[in-house]
Amino acid sequence: MENNNIKNRYTDEELEEFRVLIVEKLRVAKEQLGFYEQQLADLAENPDIKLRGLEDGTGTMESERLINLAGRQKKHIQHLENALIRIKNKVYGVCRVTGKLISKERLRAVPHATLSIEAKETR
């Protein structure tokens, strides 16, 4: 720590702890995305669903739901990958509004966070 006892970044050890956490979350997120994409492919290939879907619209609704879930998952993956870049650049965990460190508790809960609770509440 610096002489004034105010940290302006996490230590390399702390960054490694967060990197491990994010890599695992990224693995799970990519697995989930693969599941959604497989479900969409199965829907597209199943003639029974197409026929039934024409009658009651459930096929279309299910496809739209899976497309939305996959889209959200892709965004989540991008946020996690961006967090890994911030770790590499040693700026991870610094609030983009206040410039202060985001609490470890918040980063453990939302590892891709770029705002501290303080900054988030004022937005």
Residue 122 has pLDDT above 90, yes or no: no
Number of domains composing the chain: 1
Quote the domain boundaries for residue 75.
Answer: 12-91
What does the pLDDT look like over 18-31, one tens digit per residue? 999 999 999 999 99
Give 100-116 pLDDT, tens digit per residue: 999 999 999 999 999 99
Kindly report the CA angle at 30 between 27 and 31, in degrees rounded to 5? 85
Cβ within 8 Å of residue 73, ≥6 positions away: 29, 32, 33, 36
Whole-number Å distance between alpha carbons of 56 and 61 = 10
Reading the block at residue 95, the tokens are: 């609030």
Answer yes or no: is 102 within a domain. no
Residues 37-85 have pLDDT tens digits of 999 998 878 766 555 555 556 667 888 999 999 999 999 999 999 999 9
In a domain, 110, yes or no: no
